[in-house]
Amino acid sequence: MRLHREGTVIMLTTALVLLVVNGLAYYFLFAGNATAIVLLAVVCVIIFVLVVQFFRIPNRPRTFHDRQVVAPADGTVVVVEETDEAEYFKDRRRQNSIFMSPLNVHVNRNPVSGIVTYFRYYPGKYLVAWHPKSSTENERTTVVLEMKSGVQVLLRQIAGAVARRIVWYVKENQPVEQGSEMGFIKFGSRVDVFLPLDAEVKVKIGDKMKGGVTVLAEFSA
């Protein structure tokens, strides 16, 4: 396991603030009260561990397959449905949505290999990530990847009520590899994937996903 670079400043700042709090408590607030000092130290360690675990990147064998779409993020499947995709395709698509809680790994990964044919960033609201309108009204990005077969897959990063920063590492005309990092969303969020109607969806609502590993869908040969 390693830690993501997006967390460097936050982790260092958290550590500094907690050290200052403990120093003030030791010399002023709880001076002479060993029990209170120990309890505060334990609480601070727990807080720091929670912050650090948010930026973890587990070592996993990634899934590579030309006809498979892998999960772009860790989390729980909250939407599996046929719906209208109004921004890019403007037709019916199969939508799969993954909700990432603050305890999930928050790296976002490319679900397929291909070329980035479309990218847009939209500032917006911060509705809870499972709200039906979050995919069209929240801060978000939209990325379209075209596979070598010509099939296009749309990926949308969506900020939630807690997440206030979306990071992306892709741009139009860039080639990407399935399972490679495409971005990061901090502290709770959601990722939508829109697939052609002939894609065979392999997941259901409530399933737990592992980014870059779990197969979301498969295309026929």
Please tell me the distance from the alpha carbon of residue 41 to that of residue 70, in angstroms, as a whole number.
41
The ranges assigned to domains in the chain are 2-57, 68-218
Residue 15: the pLDDT is 92
* Per-residue tokens: 145: 């990847």
189 is catalytic: yes
Residue 18: the pLDDT is 93
Exposure pattern of 71-106 as b/e (b: 16+ CB <10 Å)?
Answer: bbbbbbbbbbeeeebebbeeeebbbbbbbbebebbb
List per-residue pLDDT tens for the chain, 221 residues long: 788 788 788 889 999 999 999 888 888 777 778 888 889 999 999 999 888 887 888 888 888 999 999 999 999 999 999 999 999 999 999 999 999 888 888 899 999 999 999 999 988 665 655 555 556 667 889 999 999 999 999 999 998 655 557 889 999 999 999 999 999 887 668 899 999 999 999 999 999 999 999 999 999 86
Bridge partner residues of 81 (DSSP) = 95
- The pTM assigned to this predicted structure is 0.84
Q: Which of 97, 134, 135, 189 is catalytic?
A: 189
Residue 207: the pLDDT is 97
Residue 189: the pLDDT is 81
What letter does residue 212 receive in the DSSP assignment? T
Residue 102: the pLDDT is 80
Question: Which top CATH class is 68-218?
Answer: mainly beta
* Per-residue tokens: 191: 């990722």
Residue 25: the pLDDT is 83
Residue 7: the pLDDT is 77
